[in-house]
Amino acid sequence: LARPNLQGLSPYVPGKPIEELARELDLNPADIVKLASNENPLGPSPKVLTAIEKELPELTRYPDGNGFILKQKLAEHYGVEPEQVTLGNGSNDILDLVAQAWLAPGLNAVFSQYAFAVYPIATTIAGAECRVVPAKDYGHDLEAMLQEIDENTRVVFVANPNNPTGTWFDVTSLEQFLAAVPEHVIVVLDEAYIEYAASSELPDGMKYLANYPNLIVTRTFSKAYGLAGLRVGYSISSAQIADVINRIREPFNVNSLALVAACAALEDEDYLFRSRQANEQGMEQLELGLNALGLRWINSKGNFIAVDFQQDASAINQALLERGVIVRPVAGYGMPNFLRVSIGTHEENARFLTVLKQILSDG
């Protein structure tokens, strides 16, 4: 019998894969547009492809279980010690490991309504209580989150920007929050989308590590670095926190192609610049297109936008699927009237807008 705390748990539902829809509709996969998983539409950096090709003959070997070179590079990049870096099979892995290490029955984790689906899943698997704090204007209400923290709280998850809403908090809000969180609580600052937010409106979590030994900043190569398929993410924290996670992670949690690819990606600043630029342009294209259709949306600093249809959006989602466009329903996040649309290439965004216009005018 599975543990009782797993009874009410549902599996994480990812965006529908292109191949699956292609088979259902008997379409060529190339004719399907997927804007559902916040993936980078540019494709991987050419430098990454070269690095992977070079690594292929080594595939009979285990990867470096400690990710020595990638940790060195990340440490240099952020001006921290390699002992402060933890590598994960996606940053998802790290979120999970934090929950396993610090949560247990009788303890709780605090996070916001409309936050990333992995926080409740990881917390529930660990047998701990989910303290879900009502959102404010779809974003994190950091003050209300502080109120929810008690002596049994061990973890508070905050995402900046947040998925699926794209909302964010500013420097002052983060500083006040960090100063007020008790020391016995680990703050997980999930910055999966931070590279898209080049503006100074968003705090850089890395700046606060020196002052807050209970802070762990998680980032990923899946989004702006365009490596979602390889599964590689990381956290920077105090060396003590990194040491605890290191004790419970799988020995080879990051594969060898991911390790070399991440090193190459980190060095390709031009690619990152182009990712950001393409995202800004695509975001504007979608915002303008949605405005022209009279639709409302949540202002987003990520590579996606949550569109408010002001009625249950499942029929619209279905109609989009039937026309070969995959976006992400967010009813599971408690947002049944919204669809989350990832920013694609100019052509993909245009196709989405055209198809959506047809659907809306067909009634």
Which residues bind to ligand PMP, rule: CB under 6 A?
38, 90-92, 116, 159, 163, 190, 192, 220, 222, 228, 233
Q: What is the 3-state secondary structure (H, E, C) of 104-122?
A: CCCCEEEEECCCCCHHHHH
The Cα 81–Cα 74 span in angstroms is 9
Task: Give the CB-nearest residue to ligand PMP.
Answer: 90
The encoded tokens of residue 92 equal 């998802």
Alpha-carbon distance of 250 to 321, in angstroms, equals 37
- Give the nearest distance from C-beta 133 to ligand PMP in angstroms: 16
Query: Which of residues 63 and 302 has its CB atom nearest to ligand PMP in the complex?
Result: 302
Of 167 and 222, nearer to ligand PMP (C-beta) is 222
Comparison of 227 and 353: residue with beta carbon closer to ligand PMP: 227
Q: Would you say 80 or 227 has its CB closer to ligand PMP?
A: 227
113, 103 Cβ separation under 8 angstroms: no
Per-residue tokens: 205: 């979590």
Q: How far is the CB of 119 from ligand PMP (least distance, A)?
A: 9
Q: What are the structure tokens assigned to 201, written together? A: 């409106």
Q: How many residues appear in the chain?
A: 363
N-to-C CA span, the chain: 48
**Tokens describing residue 340:** 């989350």
Query: Which has the closest alpha carbon to 154: 122, 195, 176?
Result: 122
Closer Cβ to ligand PMP, 90 or 282, answer by number: 90
Distance set, CA 102 to CA 80, 106, 109, 240 (Å) = 23, 12, 9, 13
Q: Among 360, 327, 353, 323, which residue's Cα sits nearest to residue 31?
A: 323
Nearer to ligand PMP, 190 or 353 (CB): 190
Say how far apart CA 350 and CA 74 lie, in whole Å. Answer: 37
CB closer to ligand PMP out of 235 and 285: 235
Closer to ligand PMP by Cβ: residue 335 or 359: 335
DSSP state of 319: H
Rounded to 10 deg, the angle between the 256-267 and 46-55 helix axes is 150
- CA–CA gap between residue 352 and residue 327 (Å, rounded): 9
Query: Could you tell me where the beta strands, DSSP code E, fall in 2-44?
Result: 33-34
CB 352 within 8 A of CB 344: yes
Tell me whether residue 263 or residue 359 sits nearer to ligand PMP (CB atom): 263
